[in-house]
Amino acid sequence: MENGSELGQIIDGPTNPMVTPLLNDLYQFTMAYAYWKAGKHNERSVFDLYFRKNPFGGEYTVFAGLEECIKFLANFKLSDEEIDFVRDCLPGSEEAFGDYLRGLDCSDVEVYAIPEGSVVFPKVPLMRVEGPVGVVQLLETPFLNLVNFASLVATNAARHRFVAGKSKSLLEFGARRAQGPDGAISASKYCYLGAGKLFGIPLRGTHSHAYVSSFMSTDEIVDKVLRSADGKTTCEDFVSHVQTWLKKIQYSPSLSGIFSETNQSELAAFTSYALAFPKTFLALVDTYDVMKSGIPNFCAVALALNDFGYKALGIRLDSGDLAYLSREARNFFCTVERELKVPGFGKMVVTASNDLNEETIDALNKQGHEVDAFGIGTYLVTCYSQAALGCVFKLVEINNQPRIKLSEDVTKVSIPCKKRSYRLYGKEGYPLVDIMTGENEPPPKVGERLLCRHPFNESKRAYVVPQRVEELLKCYWRGSADEAREELPPLKEIRERCIKQLENMRPDHMRRLNPTPYKVSVSAKLYDFIHFLWLNEAPVGELQ
């Protein structure tokens, strides 16, 4: 294979121009040079990418970022300019090393991974990467970069969905709060709401306080036309309907005590916005006063839209006591429906924003509210409560020889050798345990008793009789090998997989407070081998 271009042609979709082989720590290139100098660069290696602890104090994680990793492999190629830069960073490096870098691609790399959108757990490899050690070492930082943030945001979104409940809509409002343009687009993709242009994700639009306060009166609304079912309606006609409805609301017996006069500049803004978006009119109602101005003004415009065959979507609350205001707004809508005889008006959508997070949504649930959709920004896209997932990329085998990384902190001890991973399901259909085995061990079988052991704690063990067995790692990249591999599914299918997996988890693993840890284990044979290799590699001290 001369270069990566042929490989790149088989992966469709946008790639991130910032993700190049230079998205690396310098020590990846220093190691690549040292491997090359020692003649080890083509030795066959196996690396596991995994994490050690679930984020946000929970007991599950959603795996994301695989598609971007495969696209990176397909387009992996160092340009002459990049090679010159690397050599400048390695003073004294031989010119032949540049020739080696020039010939690098991922045609001899294989990647096995858990399907994207899966619920995953600590220590179990999310990805197993096999190939020449000189190349695979250069994949470490890019892969960790692509998986860490994506999985963290996807997990954060899943947790917000869980606390909000299935019946509520979640809107990602975080582009302005994200860490740069790439952070905004990536976060939107993995929250599945914001980046519609690139990824085919549904979009929702509203307006800001600036739009409302930019108007002075309805005199500014000129030359606008509303296309109604019976033809064209002028702006003056529409404004007239708005004013008529506002008076009806004002003199309604059940509503007259709530407000007297509304802010007319706000009314002008709502009228103008409705003329621009008659099918998707959603108004921000807290610029001046929610109940004394915003809600009545919205209702007048929504009722005018109704006259011309359109249905407004609803309102957004961005400040104040969201539980109280949402209940009052709902009461107002229901009263309008009853008093003014407008069927369905009481079901207007109430959206809430204003720095929402898991805790505030949970508090709103406990207080009682009438919010239908939550707009979540800062706390979602920045993963405010946890900065990083902490994935690692560890060598577990080279030249068919298992390798282990030891530490005084047992959580940092790696699990050696090329492994296979399985998820075992119980009688009720819930996952019971994930188990890792050696590559050549026979797989677990349905109905057969199996001993599952904690990898490092000898007293933690249990027998399992699985009712269903799912092998987790599937091949997504075989380099230039003409063999079958898994296709990358569209984002919609990944989302559907994520929803299905989350629904299939036992509730006590999912709860916010004191969730039950999910069990991750190894086979008895792998347990014995881990501890044999541990004792073999650990130096023996001597007491004086």
170 and 156 within one domain = no
Which is nearest to 155 in space by CA: 334, 388, 348, 445?
388
The phi-psi region of residue 241 (left if phi > 0; otherwise alpha if psi is between -120 and 50; otherwise beta) is alpha
Last residue of a domain, one of 327, 348, 381: 381
At 531 the pLDDT is 95
| Residue 542 covered by a domain | no
At 3 the pLDDT is 31
- pTM of the entire predicted model: 0.84
| Residue 48 covered by a domain | yes
Structure tokens at 290: 């929610």
Domains in the chain, number = 2
Domain extent at residue 251: 163-381
At 338 the pLDDT is 93
399 and 354 within one domain = no
84 and 20 within one domain = yes
| Residue 544 covered by a domain | no
Helix (H/G/I), strand (E/B), else coil: 491: helix
At 231 the pLDDT is 59
Helix (H/G/I), strand (E/B), else coil: 311: coil
Alpha carbons 327 and 329: distance in angstroms, whole number: 5
Structure tokens at 319: 């400040």
| Residue 38 covered by a domain | yes
Beta strands in 114-151 (DSSP E): 119-120, 127-132
Which residue numbers in the chain have pLDDT < 70?
Answer: 1-18, 171-205, 222-233, 378-379, 381, 481
At 186 the pLDDT is 60
Half-sphere exposure of 300 (CA within 13 A, CB side): 34
350 and 425 within one domain = no
CATH of the domain at 236: 3.20.20.70
DSSP letter at 383 equals T
Alpha carbons 473 and 470: distance in angstroms, whole number: 9
Last residue of a domain, one of 317, 349, 381: 381
- Tell me how many degrees the CA angle 300-314-155 measures, rounded to the nearest 5: 165
| Residue 354 covered by a domain | yes
406 and 395 within one domain = yes
Structural contact between residues 434 and 481, judged by C-beta atoms closer than 8 angstroms: no
470 and 407 within one domain = yes
305 and 170 within one domain = yes
Alpha carbons 327 and 491: distance in angstroms, whole number: 36
Q: Is the dihedral of CA 197, 198, 201, 205 positive or negative?
A: negative
At 479 the pLDDT is 82
